[in-house]
């Protein structure tokens, strides 16, 4: 859990640092093309890493639960798919925001 929190903190700091420069109105203080690419790529990559860890944890916990109570495999599987879909949706949003930072 600490590892996931650390990754989320780094992603938030990268996004804040990127948005500060991306929203600058002065051309002299705006971020260069390379800086935008690095910031957007870092934000998108960290979002995907976090999602991979989250979905892996969801799947592992579901398999352990099914191993303990095989008769509940249907509801556990359904809840696992719903939770994984929510994580994927949030990840897709984060990746799009990161990539829009490159273009904007």
In this prediction, residues 33-60 reach a mean pLDDT of 88
In this prediction, residues 68-88 reach a mean pLDDT of 95
Band the pLDDT of 64: cuts 50, 70, 90: very high
What is the residue whose two structure tokens read 């995907």?
A: 48
Q: Which domains does the chain have, with CATH numbers?
A: 2-103 (1.20.20.10)
Contact 7, 45 (CB under 8 A): no
Give pLDDT tens digits for 20-44.
555 555 444 456 667 778 888 888 8
pLDDT for 90 equals 93
DSSP reduced 3-state for 32: coil
Q: Is the pTM of this model over 0.85?
A: no
């Amino acid at each position: 859990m600490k590892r996931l929190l650390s990754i989320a903190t780094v992603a938030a700091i990268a996004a804040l640092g990127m948005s500060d420069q991306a929203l600058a109105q002065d051309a002299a203080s705006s971020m260069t093309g390379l800086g935008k690419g690095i910031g957007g790529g870092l934000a998108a990559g960290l979002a995907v890493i976090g999602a991979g860890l989250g979905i892996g944890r969801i799947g592992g916990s579901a398999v352990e639960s099914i191993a303990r109570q095989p008769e509940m495999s249907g509801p556990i599987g359904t809840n696992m798919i719903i939770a994984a879909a929510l994580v994927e949706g949030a990840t897709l949003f984060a990746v799009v925001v990161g990539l829009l930072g490159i273009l904007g």
